[in-house]
Amino acid sequence: MARQAAFTGILSNASDYNPDFYNWNKVKVRYCDGSSFTGDKEEVDPSTNVHYRGARVWQAVIEDLLAKGMNKAKNALISGCSAGGLTSILHCDRFHQLLPADANVKCLSDAGFFINVKDITGANHAEAFFNDVVATHGSAKNLPSSCTSKLPAGVCFFPQNEVQQIQTPLFILNAAYDSWQVIIR
């Protein structure tokens, strides 16, 4: 089932658009868990039969890539868009730690810097939403301890509470207006 995925923009396979790493190996991991690959609950949701185990999916993907040669990487970039961009922030330093000590590792978040502010109605729907995500998925144990040791786990889903502790170079690309963040309720 091997097939080549098309990458565009900053991850383009075309050297004209992406002169720095157009010819790097790239892996697209479909976002499938609703918790930026942090969830890990043993029990299955009885009403939906859903397994909240995104952290296990993340671990399996990483182990597979390491076994296929990523353990010898000299340069690595983890990136994602929207919830995938949040994934690249939340897993940035842990991703770096899995690679050789001399590897040049960077993280890129494209539209994943979700902010914890009140919306135009004066309500803080985003914080309530992320609190529910953390509780539903059992994400607290897989969020960076540099944040959860100081703040409630739900607010550790917000990059503004994470980025100051991240040691790996992190690039953030966010639009001034993000329709998802404007309409979250």
* Separation between Cα atoms, residue 167 and residue 178, nearest integer Å: 27
pLDDT above 90 for 26: no
Asked, for residue 128, whether it belongs to a domain, the answer is: yes
pLDDT tens digits for 32-80? 889 999 999 999 999 999 999 999 999 999 999 999 999 999 999 999 9
Residue 60 belongs to a domain:
yes
Q: Is 5 part of a structural domain of the chain?
A: no
pLDDT of residue 12: 87
Which residue is it, tokens 């010898």?
72
Beta strands in the chain (DSSP E): 75-81, 104-110, 170-173
User: Residue 170 domain-assigned?
Assistant: yes
- 24 lies in some domain: no
Domain count, the chain: 1
Residue 43 lies in a domain: yes
**End-to-end CA gap in the chain:** 39
- Domain with 73 in it: 31-183
Per-residue model confidence as pLDDT tens digits over 97-149 = 999 999 999 999 999 999 998 888 888 888 999 999 999 999 999 999 999 99
Q: How far is CA 170 from CA 21, 73, 93, 95, 99, in A?
A: 16, 18, 10, 12, 16
The reply to whether 44 falls in a domain is yes
Burial bucket for residue 42 (CB in 10 Å: 0-12, 13-18, 19+): exposed
Which pLDDT band holds residue 171 (cuts at 50, 70, 90)? very high
